[in-house]
């Protein structure tokens, strides 16, 4: 019988600030930026020509790539992050569990493009007279260069299939595509599978890369991305009055979720407990959040309700939550609406809850964002420190909460960090929140 309690026993990261948890965490606390000019394709003429790229990464440092020769970039990120989490959980040499009781739940998108192929076909269709692309010629050249390998790289469930093969997963396996909320929703739903007794262990999280010409162009056309090409490291400005959009990032975040009794029986040490998950839909517009913030508020309320936490209560004179990892994209609407939702839910306590967004340092990792940001919550609980929101020089009057500007905050002398919320709000009005708490025997 399941214990009804879900714990995190392992975690792994691949981000623009590094390829393993400890080094990424150190750089986040130091307020470093992993955002710079795009190097992967000739993007100098793009309206936005900078992003948070993963640099110097080799998946062969983590797994034998012989079986993953056709893995796309997002799959490569997932393999590295999962190998880290798998090892930390102590599962690499553990053979005492039933593989049919190990599952997968990922938030992973459409895969990464073959950049060299795209650029080559694009150049063959370039008209020097009109300075434009002949899209018919480009499409024809692209089809001629398409291979079976490039097609499999595009499959949204490619990362899922590669991880299942690599780690011997034969239980429930799902791929979630709810845009920027995907990996948060994947972790929440994976936790529910364990609570319901459908699995003992779940690999959960997300991976994504959209730093290619089509991915960047799509968001540029939506006018959702910052255009501060002259200062990339300062372009992402969540909650700042001068913010002008988000910055694209890429990478992966993976956690190992486990039934508490199963973890303890094999001698694993829980890192934190996953105590709450809330999900809602705005039922509004495909790209805009509902201006009243009702959906985000319901998602946060649902996570706290499952965790048996009253958002208006106090804990030894402190608010009921010690830290909120905000969705905090740096777009005008998102930041103001998320602020309003937090204030509506927490009431007077809202101004006393530290909040920050690490997107200002690593960019928006789209479907991987929520998992990476949940791991920052786990690290906040383990270390008692909260990462800052850098570039917050001119606070927006509508965003008037405690966003931990510029410098990380150390709470070890005041009781540390016990409870965290992690918010993710995706295109289409998908809202998801996770609540983690310090593990107590």
CA distance 372 to 23: 14
Angle separating helix axes 21-29 and 369-383, nearest 10 degrees: 80
DSSP of 55-104: -S--GGGTS-GGGGTT--HHHHHHHHHHHHHHHHTT-TT---S-GGGEEE
Angle separating helix axes 369-383 and 182-195, nearest 10 degrees: 70
166-169: Cβ within 8 A, 24+ apart: 166/63, 166/67, 166/68, 166/79, 166/82, 166/83, 167/82, 167/86, 167/91, 167/102, 167/203, 168/99, 168/102, 169/99, 169/102, 169/103, 169/104, 169/203
Catalytic residue among 19, 290, 364, 399: 364
Look at the chain and count its residues.
441
Q: How many other C-beta atoms can be found within 10 angstroms of the C-beta atom of residue 94?
A: 13
- Catalytic annotation present for 68: no
**Residue 394, SS3 per DSSP:** coil
- Catalytic annotation present for 327: yes
| Residues 199, 359 contacting (CB under 8 angstroms) | no
Buried b (16+ CB within 10 A) or exposed e, 358-391: bbbbbbbbbbbbbbbbbbbbbbbbbbbbbbbbbb
- Catalytic annotation present for 364: yes
Catalytic residue among 68, 208, 212, 327: 327
**Residue 29, SS3 per DSSP:** helix
CA 269 vs CA 8, 67, 385, 440: distances in Å: 9, 31, 21, 11
Catalytic residue among 68, 82, 176, 180: 180
Active centre residues (catalytic): 180, 327, 364
């Amino acid at each position: 019988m399941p214990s009804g309690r879900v714990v995190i026993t392992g975690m792994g990261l691949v981000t623009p600030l590094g390829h393993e948890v400890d080094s990424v965490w150190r750089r986040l606390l130091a307020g470093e930026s992993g955002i710079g000019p795009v190097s992967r394709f000739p993007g100098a003429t793009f309206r936005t020509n900078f992003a948070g790229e993963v640099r110097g990464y080799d998946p062969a440092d983590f797994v034998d790539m012989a079986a993953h020769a056709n893995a796309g970039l997002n799959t490569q990120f997932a393999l590295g992050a999962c190998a880290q989490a798998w090892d930390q959980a102590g599962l690499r040499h553990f053979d005492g569990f039933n593989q049919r009781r190990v599952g997968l739940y990922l938030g992973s998108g459409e895969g990464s493009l073959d950049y060299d192929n795209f650029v080559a076909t694009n150049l063959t269709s370039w008209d020097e007279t009109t300075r434009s692309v002949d899209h018919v010629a480009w499409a024809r050249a692209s089809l001629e260069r398409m291979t079976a390998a490039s097609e499999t790289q595009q499959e949204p469930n490619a990362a899922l299939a590669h991880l299942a093969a690599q780690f011997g997963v034969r239980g429930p396996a799902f791929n979630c595509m709810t845009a920027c909320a995907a990996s948060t929703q994947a972790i929440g739903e994976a936790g529910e599978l364990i609570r319901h007794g459908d699995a003992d262990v779940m690999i959960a999280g997300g991976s994504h890369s959209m730093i290619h010409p089509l991915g960047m162009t799509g968001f540029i056309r939506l006018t959702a991305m910052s255009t501060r090409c002259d200062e990339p490291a300062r372009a992402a400005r969540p909650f700042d009055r001068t913010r002008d959009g988000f910055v694209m990032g890429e990478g992966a975040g993976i956690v190992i979720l486990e039934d508490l009794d199963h973890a303890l029986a094999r001698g694993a040490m829980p890192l934190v407990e996953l105590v709450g998950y809330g999900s809602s839909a705005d039922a509004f517009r495909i790209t805009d959040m509902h201006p009243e913030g009702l959906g985000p508020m319901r998602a946060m309320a649902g996570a706290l309700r499952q965790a048996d936490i009253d958002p208006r209560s106090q804990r030894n004179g402190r608010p009921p939550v010690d830290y909120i990892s905000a969705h905090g994209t740096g777009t005008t609407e998102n930041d103001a609406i998320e602020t309003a939702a937090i204030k509506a839910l927490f009431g007077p306590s809202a101004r006393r809850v530290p909040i920050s967004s690490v997107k200002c340092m690593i960019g928006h990792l789209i479907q991987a964002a929520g998992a990476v940001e949940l791991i920052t919550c786990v690290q906040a609980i383990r270390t008692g420190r909260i990462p800052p929101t850098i570039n917050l020089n001119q606070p927006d009057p509508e965003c008037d909460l405690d966003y931990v500007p510029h410098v990380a905050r150390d709470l070890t002398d005041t009781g540390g960090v016990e409870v965290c919320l992690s918010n993710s709000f995706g295109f289409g009005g998908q809202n998801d929140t996770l609540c983690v708490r310090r593990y107590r025997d």
